Structure 1
Amino acid sequence: MKSLGMIFLFVLAVTSTFSNGVVIPQFPLEQDSGGFVMNTHNVHITVEDGIATVIIEEEFENTSTRLLEAVYLFPIPSSAVISDFTMKIGDQILKGEVLPADEARKIYHEIVAKMKDPALLEYVGTQLIRMSIYPFEPGERRQFFIEYSQPLEISSNSYSMIYPLKIDSFLSAPIGSVSVRISVPLQIAEVYSPTHPFVETTGVSGREYVFIGNDLIPNSDVALVLTSSEDEIPSSLATHWDESTNEGYFLLTLIPRIKEEIVIPKDVVFVLDISGSMYGEKIEQAKRALEQVLQMLRPGDRFAIVTFDGRVHNLTGSLLDASEKAEWIEKVRRIQADGMTNIYGALQTSIDMFSKYDTGRFKALLFLTDGEPTEGITDIGRIISDATPEARARNVHLFSFGVGTGVVAELLDRLVQENAGRVSYIIEGESIEAKVTDLYRSIETPALENVTVSIENLDVKKTLPEGPYSLFSGQALRISGIYFDEGDMRVTVEGTRGGEKYRYEYLFKTSKRSDSPFIERIWAQKRIAHLANLYRYDPSLTEAEKDELKLEIIALSKKFNIINEFTSYLIAPERVQTYTAGDRGGLGAAPPADSVMAAKSVAEMEQDQFVEGGSSDYTFVDGIGFTLEEGVWIQDDEEVNTLESLGLAAYSEAYFELANRSDWVAKVFALGDRIRFIYKGVLIEISDEGIQTLDELLDALNKQ
């Protein structure tokens, strides 16, 4: 049985924030007989004076072939004030009832035992809105409306909240249409989500940020940070204190809002791989992306276009004024793909097009390829070592796009690390056009270059990412780190714009409040990404030093429940790969697809995106690893193979008693109905057979 437990796990973990409703049939449905699907899930959040008003609209449909009796459940956030909760059937409006935690717990247990799925155990301990649904006719649709208000958590001059979108419930298909819309007043400078790509837009009541998804299977909850606007560079400091380690984590957000009294012109060189492997949809998407970038050029900007296969084609010959872009849009549409891949020549030609002396211009090289170097100089080290000093001499920012699984991740990663840029990996199913244009939109208005950030008056460690940085108008630079006491933090930001120097000073206060746990996870992801790049690419490391990095990556991954394509190599290599590890941190001999996916994971962590999933047969429960082997979730602990097991029947009286005794055990049970784990030194084995009653459980535990 596919476990739904990890979906509900996070919902319970954030009952002080927002939760979604689920429709549960009164009796288990037969396999392949259909079920409940969610057609729409629309959320509108309005923020004013630190209060969020949340309106949720969900539509469920009975796709089974029979009339069903069901119940709609909605966990209530502890600080929320419910103003409306209704179900609509045609013109009929029905209200729900609110149940206390004790009665809710009983309902959860009854449903778990009846449905033979442990997922609902994760709701235990919260209050509950319940509404009975009968009859629910085949093909019928029901709409649910929830409205409530809730004060947001405040830290320095920012608000934070989490909306748990990570739901599967008992749906038999992806959610048809999902939208999360947040409306903010002018006092909010930016809404930032490390988990979902929100787009700023203009709504009926002012500025809005919107996330939209279609046919969506949510795999991450929505984390939001709302930063207030006060200074020329509106900045904020959000913190989270870990009582167990007596240290705190901070997220420093710098958002440039420099008035463009002098528009900074840009030089943009677009370098496009047109080798034979780009033939078809890849080249068409890339051409559309290039066309969109040309359309976005401003007066005073300059551009150049270089394509390459086995040879290098300097199409424009030199940097051209933006006024000539219309003519070149037509020429771009006629580009064709064929030939080999001369990456070395393409980089040398494109970098040489930038002047060393135009200090008042922002210089960006957008480099797109789907393969490895096969023509000209193909040695990766030589390509990087020859391109880097020339790019630095011209102050060029290099942005790489790796398309598909045939690219050399080391080459693209190292190029952007050495040249103040960013890398983006575009795998099957993702849009080249969207990735390129989104990146260009974010760098369209440069604010400050060669930025350094210094932190004084407070002891901080392991700040990431390391500078120097570049800042762009309307975008944020986020720096994470660890602090050890509450107090004043003085931050100095220095950089250049149009050849002029700028300096800004800020004073923040750290605290020992423990109300923003996502901040420590952002830091952990940045730290893992930093260590991963050292592990993979630093040639000066000894094997002993690489082993130390590996151990820290594994420890961070387990502590903060972060598993992805890179960390899975290190945490459970025997379950992820069977080939011999090479000199690149276990990736040197990896198949190209695995290498690219690992690099993609590291790049996403560096760019503040929460990375979910990874290996489908490995997961965490509060930092404890579990692997799925032949349908059984087994705790990743050597003692599992040495202890004598105690059999426990799933969904029995003894099963629920053990779940009630330990929150961690309840979360473990949410993995499925076949599990082997260690509880207080006893190896527990959950299956269809085993002890059933409370007396048997107590007697067995006492004998251990």
Structure 2
Amino acid sequence: MKFAYALPAATLLLVGTIGAIAHFSIAPSARSVPLRPTIVNPTSMDNAAEPTPTPAPGGLFGQKDGQQQAFVLKHTEVKARVAGNISRVEVTQTFENPFKDPLEAIYVFPLPDEAAVDDMEIKIGDRVIKGDIKKREEAQKIYEQARQQGRTAGLLEQERDNIFTQSLANIRPGERIEVTIRYSDSLKFEGGDYEFVFPMVVGPRYIPGNAIGNSGDTDVVPDASRITPPVLKPGTRSGHDIGVTVEIDAGVSVQEVRSPSHKLRVEPAGNTTKVQLVAEDTIPNKDLILRYRVAGKETQATLLTQADAQGGHFAVYLIPAVQYRSNEIVPKDVVFLMDTSGSQEGDPLAKSQELMRRFINGLNPNDTFSIIDFSNTTTQLSPAPLPNTPANRAKAIAYVDQLKANGGSELLNGIQAVMNFPAAESGRLRSVVLLTDGYIGNENQVIAEVQRQLKLGNRLYSFGVGSSVNRFLLDRLAEVGRGTSQVIRQDEPTQQVSERFFRQINNPVLTNVQVTWQGSGAAPEIYPLAAPDLFASQPLVLFGRKSDRASGTLKITGVAAGGERYEKTLQVNFDQGDNNPAIAQLWGRARIKDLMNQMFGGETTSGVAAVTDTALAYRLLSQYTAFVAISDEVRVNPDGTRQRVQVPVEMPEGVSYEGVFGSAQDAAMGSGAAVPMPAMAPSRSLAGRPVGSNNRAATASPPVAKTRVAAEAEAIAPVPNNSRLQVVSITGLDPAQMPALSQYLQSLNLPTGFNGDVVLEFSVQNGRVGRILLDDKTSTLKEAAVVDVIKRSLQGWQPSQGVTGKVRVTLRLR
């Protein structure tokens, strides 16, 4: 069974007004490629020939009114400068209007999930318009008003930590406009390698839940339409290409520059090294992974400081000098959780199977293991862990070899199956090993389940398999699971990856890490609040802020392998700082991340306020803030015709189009044409926007398994709710709508055994309920088993069109 995508009716209407796009032609490229500097080829597969270089991209054109028209996003240029552990990156997107009418372009794209995005501007001719940081709803209103007035406007929003939307309104016919985004980020460092990653495409997400109207959104993923851009069919190109230049200033010579993903041109110049993509590898359909080493001995600790009006900020990168001890390995009970959904078809599943064979054969003699695979349903190798015997290993490998990719990525089913697995025997460490591309839309629901259900002492390790995996999901699962996260491309060798994994899983090198401050004044705010355990060759990364800028000593302690005590002290002096503003921005981003991690189980009013305040104070993009840039002058006729275009994206390299969308015949089942149409999308609305046919409608999707919360609610026989649930008050809503909402809420089936008040806040606009927040200060009932059922039901309530407002509802459960 494949994912099913249904084309909303609004899309059919829009396509009808601007002409069907039915014919495509590839325009040749005349770009030449100088090859004087060193060319570094991507890592090839085990025992496989090097892949044939991709031809330089041409342009994909659609037929409109008998004329060839190019798509609107022409080029993305990335310029990064790396100094030590920090990168500063500038991303410029060039949009062009090929139509006869003014254009609004909407582009969904990825950035690193921990990037501190602090700047956006648009350039019209020689004029640069700086973006302002605002609360998100305020920025949306400013943008919409400017769009209606005929002013050119840009709006940059964050949908997930790694998914962003750029909207650009009122581009004149034939006009070219550039949007520039800037961010700071920390480089990953492990095993002596620095790693710079730039993601290039948002992979297609599997969206569970019940459909909300024809928007493509569901009650589980109410913003699904904002994270699923239309995807180009195989063999077609949008003409959008990408250039990347990375300048590495390490202070010493850079060595072993390489990439498993792209061909590189490397130009050393003293202590600075310039790295660029070669011209035949510029299709934005895979993450750029750039790795290198620096000359000299491995640095044990790096401490950077910066001071400004908001206080003193510091960043710590510490690699403990602790040895891995192979003779003190704790027996493990390993549960492997394999993704066998449709997006794994072909190379990703083959790579997962290859990795699994290495994992199974690499287990220690006293370990036990089992395998669970998931798509729409879950199956397992055995009902209980198997001893690590030759016969059981052969049985496991045979099981892995026969797995097929099919169905939807119901990762929540797989996680719940693992949590329900029999507990590990006394003295054994339960380790969960997840292999997936992470292509799901309900990330928070899955992460919250691990937060709530993973037992003390258990660990979760995540492996992203593919060219453009969902790193946000994989990283956060590993963090809340007290494990590690790794990514392996579908064409990358598996031996080194599996060896590194066993060094990590067999024994963390530093646990019970504590960070204390010795000095005058109040202690600094340090993130993450709870320092993680460390594994072999893995650094501890901390960000701190001391409001009074008083210097002091940072003391880090922990328990090393074998029970030995570890201790390290670092002097923090703000008067002799690096004065790099990125340090302050990274602290702000670390605080936002920590606050968001506390809301995986549901957003709260206090949590949203804290994130918003931090983002505004440090001029950072977040899910609750946005950048907006507006031209002063009216540039197009406010009453004229406009085109609105959703920019299509490439299918990630190595992912099967048919594995995700099915054949054209499969995709057309249910509600008509469902094959993504690669250019045109319906009008944008502030309450959520349809994005063409790349949406999973519940009527066409495979059966959706119940979530844990929904299953609990049904498992407990409810009493009639009109005698238990009281609607205490509703404020902010049109009085005519209040009886309908009250009646709707009183019809809910809620589990018994709970008492207290639930206070919720949400917005209503264009017939949709927006983001729903729990007032955690006022509510006396906060259990997820109740609150999640109410929230999910509210997502499906459809007020009358034209009703707008901020709504506050107080419910009392007796």
Q: Which has the higher helix share?
A: 1
- The answer, yes or no, to whether TM exceeds 0.5 is no
With the length of structure 1 as denominator, give the TM-score of the two structures.
0.44
